[in-house]
Structure 1
Amino acid sequence: MQSGTRKALALSLLCTLAACGGGDPQSFPVAQAPAPAPVPQPPVRAVKFDPSLCQPQQGAPYGQTVGIAGTNMMVTSADVSASAAGCKVLAQGGSAIDAAVAVQAVLGVAEPFASGIAGGSVITYYDAATRKVRTFDGFSAAPATTGGVPDIYKAVAQDVSTTGGFNLCKSGLTAGASISSQQGNTNLSGRAVGVPGTLKVLDLVHQSHGRKPWNALWDDAIALAENGFPMTPYMYKTLYAVGQEYDEDGNPLSVGTGVSAWSNSAGTVKGAPRCKYPDIKARYCDATDATQQRPLPVGTTIRNQPLADTMKLVRDGGAAAFYDPAGPIVQAVVAKIAGGQLPCRSILPSPGTAANPAIASTIASIPSLMTTADFGTYRAVERRPLVGERFGMTVYTQPAPSFGGVVTLYTLGLLERKDARNAAGGIGAATFVHLATEASRLANADRRNVVGDPAYSNVNARVAALLSPAYLDARAALMTGTARGTITAGGVADGVPAFAATDPAGYDTMAALTVPAAQRRAVRQRAATMLAEAGRRSEDWNTTSNLAIVDGYGNGLAMTTTINTHWGAHIEAAGMMVNNAMSNFSASTPGLDVNGYAAHKRPRSSIAPAIAFDAEGRMRLVWGAAGGGPIPDYIVKAFLGYHVAGLDLQAAINADNWTGQNGIAELEAGKPIATLLDTLRTDFGSTTGNAQATGLTSGLSGIAVEYDANGFPVYKGAADNRRHGGAVGY
């Protein structure tokens, strides 16, 4: 081949390999490997923030049978308007505590008989960012001056003075003598008012976890107070009996009568109907009713401009405006409950009989010993949560001075040991109800002489003993197929440390509770591990309010809020019904020192909002209850119904109630559960004396958290159909 031809072929080959026409003849292409298949990316949860998406629970209020489901955020409370206000805040980007402020503000307007900013509250809060649960105490507290008496039912020197505008409370009364019976006049007077804690605890949590400005959370409540809110069926029932209603002692009321404000323990004397109390009468009762017993008709619009004005001060000035000793709010409250404007007067009628009780014709005036300075020294505090593993869930609840948290974990511990999950007939059947009421009887007998303000005695050490596995094992062994005639509290011989007074000045609210080693190990394995009666019915009041919230960031909040008994002290100041929390202190009785009256002390309470996590550390239940002494039984019922029996949370909340809080088995009257009384008596050894039907009006609200195939949360909100509440979310 000629040289020219060989050169042409070589050039041709080069052009073929080098893609002649602009390519570099010195570079050769490398064969391209097939593109790798794209790596599947996990789905990303997208939360929508849009107030127009907030939807109310179907059937609420009163008719809700199934919880509302949502994937973004959820609020539930005892008033549908309050839940709507909370959802609006969440949908605008707010956090759970932001929504709680808005919900509480509306509750104080629409449920003046149950809670408000002149009451006390506790909060259980889960922070999704740190995966920690924190518990905060805003219980009402005693004033600095207590008159040197051991309980609020004893007269102080001021009460028996005839100078300075005061009159004798009773003829012949001396200092230190009883002013009235424990459930008599004193409970509904200025003497029973504690320094409110609700705004302080909301402010404390908001400082750590708030996203929205404080002043952006009040307008819905202010508008409701100014424009009006309706008299609800439940509020009406707190004032007047229209059917099978019960007073706070669980006794049936006569149809067509006003609800007496109080009853003595024997049921032989009752107070005047609530509509005879001037402040309640002026705003909530029918002025044309000559008997002074009937409230305004259901649906009547009620306005409260003084409360709107108070909330405007709080909106613009923060919690500091509420607690300022020189401010108009404190001045108005103290002027109303203390001083010469309320000379001491406490007149009880001669007792009648339980069947035909005497009705008091006068209303007590027993001045408070509180001063304006008491507001300035009040502090909300953070406490370490009480933690326990029950039925495969880790439950975080309120520590002392709440006895509700203790009773919740104690009762569940006993029922777990007695295999209540597999009780014959299932939850709600006679065998289960027998076990549940026996467990509650034991729990409440033990907590009475143990739980009080932990700053004043060795409460935490004694609580740890009650919740230790060895102690629960021993108490569970007392539960047999036969109901015990009486329940005796455990003592030193059973491993419960003796009562020992302590100096409150040296108490650390975050001091670690003594948790059994086995329990500590179990809790540490969780991904969500956190910081480590004198007389029957003395704490049984069908009042208070509860709310539960999960926000768009995964934070959860359970809060129980209260002015104590229905309508608190029956006194309105600055538009607010003020609390009567001091009536939660025990009367001066040997052995009850743990809950005795003392300066700055916080009385124990049944309220115990809780949050539960599964074995993977995922939040599964945010819930709590209103309803007085039986509150922990209501909490237990909802937990077992949902988690153990597999009911929809709403069905679990609506289910019939039981309690053993007063030392006997009590079943909700008028419900199917009450038909089990005969079986308890014939098959389980109960008697007519220790197994009875009574009024048990719960006020549960909660959010169940389930997870879809992608691991994304699905929130199911529910609220007790016995109250005016409902869930709102999307």
Structure 2
Amino acid sequence: MILKALPAVALLLSACTVNLPAPTQSPVATPAAATTGKTTPAPHAMVAAANPMAVDAGLEVLRAGGSAVDAAVEVQAVLGLVEPQSSGLGGGAFMVYYDAATRKVTAYDGRETAPAAATPALFSEADGRPEPFRSALLSGRSTGVPGAIAMLAMAQADHGKRPWPSLFTRAARLATDGFVVPPRMGAAINGRAPQAAAPDAVAYFTKPDGTRYVAGDTLRNPAYAATLRRIAAEGPAGLLDGPIAAAIVARTHEGARPGAMTLADLKSYRPRRTEALCRPYRVHIVCTAATESGGIGLQEALGIVATTDIDRRTPADPQGWFQIAQASRLAYADRDYFVGDPAFVRLPVAGLLAPDYLAKRAALIGTVAGPAPDHGQPAAAPAPGVDATVEPGGTTHFVIVDAAGNVVSMTTTVESIFGSGRMVGGFFLNNQLTDFSFAPLSPDGTPAANAVAGGKRPRSSMAPTIILDRSRAFVAAAGSPGGPAIQAYNLKAIVGLLDWKLDAQAAAALPNLVARGDRFSGDTAMFAPATVAGLAARGITLRPDDRENSGVHIILRRGKGYEGGADPRRDGVAKGF
């Protein structure tokens, strides 16, 4: 391994412009589908998201003079209808926003919260053992107070240009008139996720003749349209107060394992607005979500990779992928141990991202992958208990640039596929509280950083990202769904863009390699045989990935316009004007 000095923050903040070199194409063995979503550059504005209907809705808002945040509201409303397995009104989100005029990046936190009455024993059996995950997933106690709409309302009040009620028009029309079920939604409807067999999902996805809807069928959801009209008229209160809020509480209180959510929990929800977590990466600045998000782990992984010579390698070089894998494992070990809601636990962010600590972690990369690495001991770090969090997937990501150059990068979720499988007002409720540690205490009684507590937000992997040059001009926006694999998906996309100089579509289509603990998995068929053999020689034997696929979406500044990339593993596109 070749180590290099980490660039100084002061240098990265100096006023000079970075011009990206001409893009190259990835030489990895990607299938023909890897070109899906390829677009010609757009001179003014662009949207990249996991469904064409959502992209078109966002572009409609932008063409009408709306801001990137205005478009984000409509994009989320449409995705909640046509991709309900991934996100929706009943879920949460993280957003980073770039203001082109001030060159400032702001982070918005719409993560769900536990009810005030929640205790560390929320997912414990009577004998103290952790509850089986499946029963917790489908229970009323899995649902946290939804935060995505409140977060969008906060960001839109800060940066919007269009009237709030106008931002739900396309979604309400699709819900009323009907929409064609997309391939990925059709697969989830007829998939093996237990939520798809839950009573509410069965009722929604069953046709009058008793058969299930499939891709290509037309599906209507008038209840969703009614909910959108209420939110359009009343703002977040239309969801978090009044009849819909009462219905949410009632639905979570049903069943053998009822939740403890109250109307007061919903009404008192507040999103968070903070400075983004920005750190240098070679000649760029990477900004991502802060707090309990996946931004800390992603930044640590990037900081470790930045000490290597990966920028002198190519996507076909197994050593580059080995460096990604080892950096991922080291960063995951720290993230899984230290990260929790900063309102409840002390996050050693400065210690985890300090250059000397990153260099110590990078020195552990070695030449062959060994046993799972342990967490490190950064400066001023607490000593929480051992974590036992299970993180399923069920998330989406989109990026938007408006005509003024403002940028939204947003990852949004209902947690698992179709959330808890329970519906209210035409949308699914989240199961976000299962992102807490099911074993909240170590044998000595020390609580895990991600233990349950009333009002606490569970740790997240979501890490929407915006990349700037040294003068803080916009370079790219990226992010991905994927549950705990988000960190790995985002890492390889950013390395692809900045180190391997790929175009946006090639970076989005790169194979995935998820390395966490003793597990190595990924898109085994998409790697060239020589790359697979080189990884095996370095102690990494890939097995097919059985987790949620990536959904990387990218907008990259190229000259005076934008190019987009849409992950071929989903239904998305990148379009602009």
1:18-97 equivalent positions in 2, closer than 5 A: 64=36, 66-97=38-69
Determine helix, strand or coil for the equivalent of 2:301.
helix
- Aligned partner letter, 1:282: A
* Alignment map for 1:525-674 (pairs within 5 Å): 533-534=387-388, 538-541=390-393, 543-587=394-438, 588-590=440-442, 593-672=448-527
**Deviation (angstroms), 1:617:** 2.3
1:413 alignment partner AA: G
Instruction: Tell me, in whole angstroms, the C-alpha distance in 1 between the residues paired with 2:518 and 2:451.
Output: 21
Counterpart residue number, 1:180: 131
Deviation at 1:121, TM superposition (A): 0.9
1:707-722 aligned within 5 A: 707=559, 713-722=560-569
Matched with 1:698 is 550
State whether structure 2 residue 211 is matched by structure 1 residue 301. Answer: no
Equivalent-residue separation in structure 2 for 1:603 and 1:721 (angstroms) = 30
Distance 1:387 1:592, change over 3 A: farther
Aligned residue runs from structure 1 range 91-106, under 5 A: 91-106=63-78
Q: Distance in 2 between matches of 1:620 and 1:582?
A: 35
Give 2:280's aligned amino acid: E
Query: Which residue of 99, 102, 116 corresponds with 1:144?
Result: 116
The answer for the alignment partner of 2:192 in structure 1 is: 259
Q: Does 1:476 align with 2:394?
A: no
Q: Partner amino acid for 1:383?
A: T
Q: Distance in 1 between matches of 2:90 and 2:551?
A: 20
- The separation in 1 between residues aligned to 2:261 and 2:528, in whole angstroms, is 45
1:374 aligns with 2:221: no
For residues 265-276 of structure 1, the aligned pairs below 5 Å read 274-276=195-197
Tell me, yes or no, if the aligned pair for 2:35 and 2:505 is still in contact at 8 Å.
no
Instruction: From 359, 366, 371, give the equivalent of 1:485.
Output: 371
Name the CA shift for 1:394/1:196 in 2 (closer, same or farther; >3 Å).
same
- 8 Å Cα contact 1:61/1:726 also seen in 2: no
Give the gaps of 5 or more residues in structure 1.
1-59, 156-173, 241-257, 262-273, 345-365, 502-532, 708-712
Asked if residue 466 in structure 1 is aligned to residue 352 in structure 2, the reply is yes
1:244 paired residue number: none
Aligned-pair CA distance for 1:335: 1.4
Of 308, 311, 317 in structure 2, the residue corresponding to residue 418 of structure 1 is 308
After the TM superposition, which residues 292-441 of structure 1 pair with which residues of structure 2 at under 5 Å, given as runs?
295-324=212-241, 327-338=242-253, 342-344=254-256, 366-402=257-293, 404-423=294-313, 426-441=314-329
- Cα deviation for residue 66 of structure 1 reads 2.5
Three-state SS of the structure 1 residue aligned to 2:462 is coil
Q: Distance in 1 between matches of 2:187 and 2:447?
A: 34
Question: Residues of 1 paired with 2:392 and 2:205: CA distance?
Answer: 24
Q: Is the 8 A contact 2:140 2:255 kept in 1?
A: no
Task: Indicate the SS of the match to 2:574.
Answer: strand
Summarize deviations over 1:367-419 as a string: whole Å, max 9, x none: 111011111110011122111111311011111201x2112211111112121
Report the Cα offset of residue 673 of structure 1: 5.5
Does 1:729 find its partner at 2:576? yes
Secondary structure of 2:561's counterpart equals strand
Structure 1 or 2, whichever has the larger Rg, is 1
TM-score when normalising by structure 1? 0.71
Tell me the distance in 1 between the aligned counterparts of 2:79 and 2:519.
33
1:629: how far off?
0.7
4+ runs of 1 displaced by more than 3 Å?
60-63, 176-179, 285-289, 673-679
CA contact 1:430–1:680 (8 Å) conserved in 2: yes
Q: Counterparts of 2:411 and 2:67 in 1: how far apart (Å)? A: 18
Identify which of 377, 381, 389 aligns with 1:497.
381
- Give, in whole Å, the separation in 2 of the partners of 1:699 and 1:153: 30
Structure 2, unaligned stretches of length 5 or more?
1-31
CA deviation vs aligned residue, 1:462-520 (integer Å, no higher than 9, x gap): 122111101000011111111122211113xx54522479xxxxxxxxxxxxxxxxxxx
Letter in 2 for 1:417: T
Deviations 1:38-84 (A, max 9, x none): xxxxxxxxxxxxxxxxxxxxxx9986252441111111111111111
Aligned-partner SS, 1:99: helix
Matched residues in 2 for 1:430 and 1:237: separation? 33
Q: Is the 8 A contact 2:196 2:418 kept in 1?
A: no
Q: Could you tell me how far apart the structure 1 residues matched to 2:284 and 2:120 are?
A: 41
Distance in 1 of aligned mates of 2:130 and 2:304: 41
Higher relative contact order (CA 8 A, sep 6+): 2
Aligned length: 540
2:22 corresponds to which residue?
none
Q: Deviations over 1:330-352 (max 9, x none)?
A: 111111111xxx241xxxxxxxx
Larger mean CA deviation between 620-629 and 60-69 belongs to: 60-69
Residue from 76, 87, 100 that aligns with 1:128: 100
Secondary structure of the structure 2 residue equivalent to 1:70: coil
